[in-house]
Structure 1
Amino acid sequence: MSKALFITVEGGEGVGKSTNMAFIASFLKARGVELKLTREPGGTALAEELRELLLKKRDEKFDETAELLTVFAARAQHLNTFIKPALAAGSWVLSDRFTDASFAYQGWGRGLSTELIEQLENLVQGSLRPDLTILLDIDPRIGLARASARAELDRFESEKVEFFDRVRRGYLARVEQEPERFAVIDASLPLVQVQADIQAVLEGLF
């Protein structure tokens, strides 16, 4: 395959992104793919500092528009100093979340205008979009139960379940808009089945 691909993994809290990111990376590297792993918000030293601002609990309310702009500030740094150079050098990039998360969390979750998010997407990314997005889909109640069992909850994880219901609907709306880019995986299934389903998607790339 001549083109370096940009693959993203999306989903709400507790869907198993970290575990399945490792599985995807192992699968691709076993097939000789030069691969860079990253995450959003984050991926560079500066973008990780912005991530900390976004996730930290505080007394002052984080304004929704300020939150969205902070996410895209981190994304601009991430894209221009990590993702684009890696792709240009021939490395595939696998990212834990990308702009679909902004539509789901800040758009559907917070209720911000999707048109505004599209404007920021075009401003920051130009024509760059993921080649494949794997959406790990699960009932938010199951996902939150998993997340709460693993560690102290951050600012996003502490939202009410109704917020995550909206986030899930936002992700599924993105799938309806761009079905050719998305592969939806039922993350409520046993891990062995989830990873078999992911592997079937990845094998299609080759």
Structure 2
Amino acid sequence: MKHGNFITFEGLDGAGKTTQAALLAATLRQSGKEVIETREPGGTEIGESLRSLALKTEGLDAVTETLLMLAARREHIHHLINPALARGAWVICDRFSDSTYAYQGGGRGVCQKWLHACLSEVENSLQPAVSFYLDVPPTFSAHLSSKDVFETAGDSFYSSVKKAYQKIIIDNPKRVVSISWEKNGVRRTRESIAEEIAAVVRERFFK
């Protein structure tokens, strides 16, 4: 079930999700909304501990990595996201289900059918009203200077992740809004991207 005050940001590492989430949160606060900014994996004390394990431990089995992500999400939903939504706050989350399908499913090769069954149980049908996918080339992520276990995975890994994201976009045209990092061959400013995102939010929520 989609929740009207729940917005997520998706994309490859280095795409600018954290920046754009913060800019949108600031815009919503200016209109008097209570906004909770959070991230995955993480968002709670336990979630942040699981994040460190998942992102910093080399050689984790793909299913083990997935289970850590799912455990963090369950805690996140139960202790932060659902209570915030219940009181009418807006929740803006850096990554959610789409990242699991793209990174663990597409990148790590974990069975998508198994992932779907697990996510259905963990999330209890919670879905964002809109997910912004920030579209950058796989090379953006593979060549980042700050490395975790994903950022050292290389071009092939990120190509697989992006392919999985592209399928998610096709399968969810009403929920997922894809925003390109460039326009007419020129890299866009973060301000122009933020304005496009704000325009979508105004159209969908405040028209």
Q: TM-score, normalised by structure 2?
A: 0.91
In 1, Cα distance between equivalents of 2:124 and 2:142: 34
Structure 1 runs of 4+ aligned residues shifted over 4 Å read none
Matches within 5 A, 1:135-174: 135-145=133-143, 147-148=144-145, 152-174=146-168
* Counterpart position of 2:195: 196
Higher strand share: 2
Corresponding pairs, count: 198
* Counterpart position of 1:27: 27
In 2, Cα distance between equivalents of 1:114 and 1:4: 26
Deviations 1:130-171 (A, max 9, x none): 1110000111113444x32xxx31111111111001111111
The gaps in structure 2 that reach 5 residues or longer are: none
Shift of 1:126: 1.3
Matches within 5 A, 1:6-155: 6-58=6-58, 61-145=59-143, 147-148=144-145, 152-155=146-149
Shift of 1:4: 5.3
Contact 1:4 1:90 (8 Å CA) reproduced: no
**Is 2:169 aligned against 1:175?**
yes
Deviations 1:62-95 (A, max 9, x none): 0001111110011001110110111011111000
The gaps in structure 1 that reach 5 residues or longer are: none
Q: TM-score, normalised by structure 1?
A: 0.92
Residue 111 of structure 1: SS of its match in structure 2?
A: coil
Contact 1:8 1:133 (8 Å CA) reproduced: yes
CA-based RMSD: 1.4
Residue 183 of structure 1: SS of its match in structure 2?
A: strand
In 2, Cα distance between equivalents of 1:96 and 1:171: 15
In 2, Cα distance between equivalents of 1:194 and 1:4: 22
Identity over aligned pairs, percent: 37
In 2, Cα distance between equivalents of 1:187 and 1:31: 27
